[in-house]
Amino acid sequence: MFVRSLTAKLKQKTSKTSNLNHVPFLIDILNHSFTNSSLSHVHFPSDISQTNSLIASYVRRGDPVSALTLFHSLRRRAHSDVVADAYTFTSILRASSLLRVSGQFGTQVHAQMLKTGADSGTVAKTALLDMYSKCGSLDEATKVFDEMRHRDVVAWNALLSCFLRCDRPVEAFGVLREMGRENVELSEFTLCSALKSCASLKALELGRQVHGLVVCMGRDLVVLSTALVDFYTSVGCVDDALKVFYSLKGCWKDDMMYNSMVSGCVRSRRYDEAFRVMGFVRPNAIALTSALVGCSENLDLWAGKQIHCVAVRWGFTFDTQLCNALLDMYAKCGRISQALSVFDGICEKDVISWTCMIDAYGRNGQGREAVEVFREMREVGSKVLPNSVTFLSVLSACGHSGLVEEGKNCFKLLREKYGLQPDPEHYACYIDILGRAGNIEEVWSAYHNMVVQGTRPTAGVWVALLNACSLNQDVERGELAAKHLLQLEPNKASNIVLVSNFYAAIDRWDCVEELRSIMRTKGLAKEAGNSWINVPGFNRHAISLSA
């Protein structure tokens, strides 16, 4: 009805001077969403306060398209006495952030506000600040803040989260200090941002003080507790996080709270605790994904299978990220055919799905299959581009299986077809492949190429070069590689062992003995290798997921 005719008019007027015409994608959004829009049933309010509450309720309900449509029609009927005011614009700014419409639209709204004088109040300016902050325009946001005459705590908080959003925790601390100087009374929003700054700067003592302020607030707030859990786990204090988690009695723990606790436990390798927390939670895709990472790292196939079952039961198998974690879990536990069947079941494979599958084959010694998956990835219809991690997986797979030609081809593709700059890690894998194939001159020409490209060799590159020299009896250049390696990492036991193996390979046992005595005087010992096995009946977590 009204909405459909508006859509038609929007289309007709694209070439004329309506402000929205500068944002054709917005018109696309409007066109696509009209069928579901609640607006089709609504009559137009006849005064601005009614219009404002209607717009605000659309935004609250998460229907920014209807809000923007109503706003647009308001502007087109500018001859009537219903004119947008500061309240209208603040809702509209929020709606445009929800739609993630680019800064261009927001700037146009800002211009309209300037024209009508609706930009002068603190609330309007805060809404503008927030809009620019969400568009990533840090300069514009701070400019709006500087123009404010009266800054209340909400305005300060908006500035604070602006810096945090741009990953500038040091500046965020500056804002906090300034708030202290200006005697601004901190709110729970402030404390939340403060905790986030402490988490990203790993400022344990400061965070504990903020925790004190949270306690002083005297209310159990789930958002603040989540921030506390996240803070404590990111500084490595899982027990403090668990204390916060379990002591939260007065309010409902939501998914975010559980997810934060589960992933925090997994990050700190506290798998038992992670599963205990999982026992309380109604399964959600994110918590299961975090827990699967724990299973991969712990090689706990049993728990991983349980989580797979829960994911199937709850219909989470359409979640690409969860399936990626599942695929990786099976691969790391050595169940390649299971990994493949998960991979095949992913409807929308992303670059991580492909990389995990390539890596799964590679680490299992099935280089040919890895190369084949890589070829499929680059073929028809696949819109997914390999990234530098993908190439590293392919190169490493070729190295493990001695696929020299495939490795060379892959290294060529990386630069020539995909325009990527090889990292030192790529060179290390490549040098390893060439060295194992016995092409010592190609090894050194790859090294020189790397230097010419301006890539500085890392310890990993010297390790690969040294191995190649040991295998190919390249005495002189091997000593050079050994020298560089020991200069970069003189106290790493495995490096000294490697150098000593090189001398053994070229029959210089006097040097081997000297290196062993150096290790003894430095008190170094090569870390023992280890592997995990699961014995039935042991090592099993009693997870009771409420499935």
Partner DNA sequence: ATAGGGTTAG
The CA angle 492-494-499, to the nearest 5 degrees, is 100
Q: How far is the CB of 94 from DNA (least distance, A)?
A: 5
Q: How far is the CB of 425 from DNA (least distance, A)?
A: 4
CB of 72 or CB of 94, closer to DNA? 94
Cα dihedral 4, 10, 12, 18, rounded to 10, equals: 160
Task: Using the structure block, give the residue that is written with the tokens 């004190």.
Answer: 212
Q: How far is the CB of 219 from DNA (least distance, A)?
A: 10
Task: Using the structure block, give the residue that is written with the tokens 């009508």.
Answer: 116
List residues near DNA by CB under 7 A: 56, 90-91, 94, 122-123, 126-127, 130, 152-155, 157-158, 161, 164, 187-189, 192-193, 196, 221-224, 226-227, 230, 254-257, 259-260, 263, 267, 284-287, 289-290, 293, 296, 319, 321-322, 324-325, 328, 350-352, 355-356, 359, 362-363, 387, 389, 392-393, 396, 423, 425, 428-429, 460
Tokens coding 546: 């409420």
Let me know: does 243 contact 227? Beta carbons within 8 Å.
no
Tokens coding 211: 């925790």
| Residue of 345, 359, 364 whose CA lies nearest to 394 | 359
CB of 286 or CB of 336, closer to DNA? 286
- Please state, in angstroms and rounded to a whole number, the distance separating the CA atoms of residues 55 and 352: 40
Q: How far is the CB of 540 from DNA (least distance, A)?
A: 22
Please report which helix (H) or strand (E) contains residue 237, including its range.
none
Q: How far is the CB of 22 from DNA (least distance, A)?
A: 24
CB of 27 or CB of 54, closer to DNA? 54
CB of 509 or CB of 532, closer to DNA? 532
- Please state, in angstroms and rounded to a whole number, the distance separating the CA atoms of residues 266 and 264: 5
Q: How far is the CB of 127 from DNA (least distance, A)?
A: 4
- Please state, in angstroms and rounded to a whole number, the distance separating the CA atoms of residues 93 and 107: 10
CB of 3 or CB of 307, closer to DNA? 307
CB of 393 or CB of 401, closer to DNA? 393
Q: How far is the CB of 198 from DNA (least distance, A)?
A: 12
Amino acid found at 166: C
Q: Cβ atoms within 10 A of the Cβ of 277, count?
A: 24
CB of 153 or CB of 475, closer to DNA? 153
Question: What φ, ψ does residue 333 adopt, rounded to 5°?
Answer: -90, 5
